[in-house]
Amino acid sequence: MATTDRTRPVHREPSVPGDGPAPSRMPGHWLLARLGKRVLRPGGVELTGWMLDSLELGAHDRVVELAAGLGATARLTLARGPAAFAAVDRDAAAVARLGALAAPGPTEVCAVRADAADTGLPAGSADVVYGEAVLTMQPYPAKRRVVREARRLLDGVGGRYALHEMCLLPDGLDADAADRIAADLREAVHVGTRPLTPAGWSELLAVEGFTVTARRTVPMALLQPRRLVADEGLVRALGIAGRALRDPASRRRVMHMRRVFRRHRAHLGAISLVAVPTPSQL
């Protein structure tokens, strides 16, 4: 696999993205990664699988994954044998891991160190672009820039874009309630989290030139035991729990995140949308 880097060199590349800060200060998703969690998407493997099925990946597709992270979805994509696959992430350790991925058959694979809103990849170089758990953490203008970059990468007719993100429920949720939930999430996960309602995600795609063709929502159960086992398998799930039990600081953070998710469970979900470029804007 080829690896390219569009950022300045770094002196240290930790083995796990985000490794280094104390558990009390680390972004929640990288804390979970350090404990051994590999599936960090809000809807878990189930919603990721639905997204990939709905994208109908074929042997002739050139695929770009934005903010590819630990490579869990990249492996699922490569197993479907696309013609080419580019994994983009801005974290040096993530790109190092992604650079070690191999694909069966003739798939051309590369890892790129770059921001999801500015990949440096050529315009029109992809048939499929997708991103998971990247837009939720961005303010609205940054969300638009990432979606705009996906639109730039797609090669006109036949291009497909998908997202898999956290969402607020229902569509008519009061703005004050949405602000309170967002504030609680930011305090718990130490990332500027601001999910949208399903209608809000659809509107975001529409303003950047996409038409939604498929949508699915599932409960936001990232830290529920049943979801943990479904996503990671029993052995790995037990290992994650064991490491958290042996690390009091990490355990406190994980339990705090879980309490926040449960407190707002009536208004938190996970959503995936699949969209195509709007014909009038091709």
Sorted by sequence, the CB contacts under 8 Å of residue 106 that are 6+ apart come out as: 83
Q: What pLDDT is recorded for position 11?
A: 31
Sorted by sequence, the CB contacts under 8 Å of residue 193 that are 6+ apart come out as: 136, 137, 166, 182, 185, 186
Top pLDDT among 201 and 224 is at 201
Rounded CA gap, 127 and 104, in Å?
A: 20
Task: Work out how many domains the chain is built from and give that number.
Answer: 1
Q: Are strands 84-89 and 210-219 parallel, antiparallel or unpaired?
A: unpaired
Q: What pLDDT is recorded for position 16?
A: 54
Query: Does any domain span residue 238?
Result: yes
Which pLDDT band, with edges at 50, 70 and 90, does 106 fall under? confident
Which residue is listed with tokens 């949405």? 178
Query: Does any domain span residue 100?
Result: yes
Which residue is listed with tokens 């099925």? 53
Are 264 and 181 within 8 A, CB to CB? Answer: yes
Specify the CATH number for the domain of residue 262.
3.40.50.150
Domain that holds residue 35: 22-276
Rounded CA gap, 69 and 91, in Å?
A: 8
pLDDT digits (tens, 9 = 90+) for 191-201: 778 999 999 99
- 97-116 mean pLDDT: 86
Q: What pLDDT is recorded for position 198?
A: 97
Q: Strand order of the sheet with strand 128-132? A: 2-5, 108-113, 84-89, 62-66, 128-132, 160-168, 268-277, 210-219
Helices of type H across the chain? 28-34, 44-55, 72-78, 92-98, 140-153, 175-189, 198-207, 225-232, 234-245, 248-263
Query: Does any domain span residue 10?
Result: no
Query: Does any domain span residue 3?
Result: no
Query: Does any domain span residue 194?
Result: yes
pLDDT digits (tens, 9 = 90+) for 108-122: 999 999 999 999 999
Query: Does any domain span residue 248?
Result: yes
Are 87 and 65 within 8 A, CB to CB? Answer: yes
Q: Are strands 210-219 and 268-277 parallel, antiparallel or unpaired?
A: antiparallel
Phi, psi (rounded to 5 degrees) for 97:
-65, -45
pLDDT of 7 > 50? The answer is no
pLDDT digits (tens, 9 = 90+) for 124-153: 999 999 999 999 989 999 999 999 999 999
Rounded CA gap, 108 and 211, in Å?
A: 29
Reported pTM: 0.88
Query: Does any domain span residue 52?
Result: yes
| Type of residue at 41 | R
Query: Does any domain span residue 160?
Result: yes
Rounded CA gap, 48 and 46, in Å?
A: 6
